[in-house]
Amino acid sequence: MQKTARDMILSLALIVLAAGVVWLFIPHEDGEPDIKRVDYRVDLLTARRAASYPVAAPVGLPEAWKPTSVRFRGEEADAWHLGFHAPDGEYVAVEQSAGKRSPFIEDTTQGAEKSGTTQRIDGRTWTRYEGEHYDALVLEGTEGSTTVVTGTGSFGQLATMAGALRTE
């Protein structure tokens, strides 16, 4: 009985030692992962030719704003998406669609609710939506499409993105 217990303890010690050696040789990444920048110029040109509305993209954002995702789905109500990694690590996205306004806002803001607050950004009126996961700014006064700037970023970051949007 004593020999069996001693053998188990020795086996356990050997396994822990082997696991420690393996752990030492596996590379560990400390900090934030390197997020790849995507080039969205071709997708933007394609979307601008195909969409039934003026497709928006930011102009003049600092280099610290990294574009991370882009897609245009013409078969899904001309849905345009352009996602960014903001300088402080938050996520900010531009979403546009020619589809039905309410379901589109609900989907892209992950259920955020209209707050009743509006703000003027670059001469345009945006309505604030606040949510558990995402906050958003929704452009008012557009016909034929809906433009939403949404994400985990602060309203300041969302306003920076909204102010940088151009359709030319």
**What digits encode the pLDDT tens for the residues 12-40?**
999 999 998 888 888 776 666 678 899 99
Angle, CA of 55, 88 and 133, to the nearest 5°: 70
Amino acid at 116: G
pLDDT, tens digit, 9 for 90 and up, residues 72-121: 998 888 999 999 999 999 999 999 999 999 999 999 999 999 998 999 99
pTM: 0.80
Query: For position 45, what pLDDT does the model report?
Result: 96
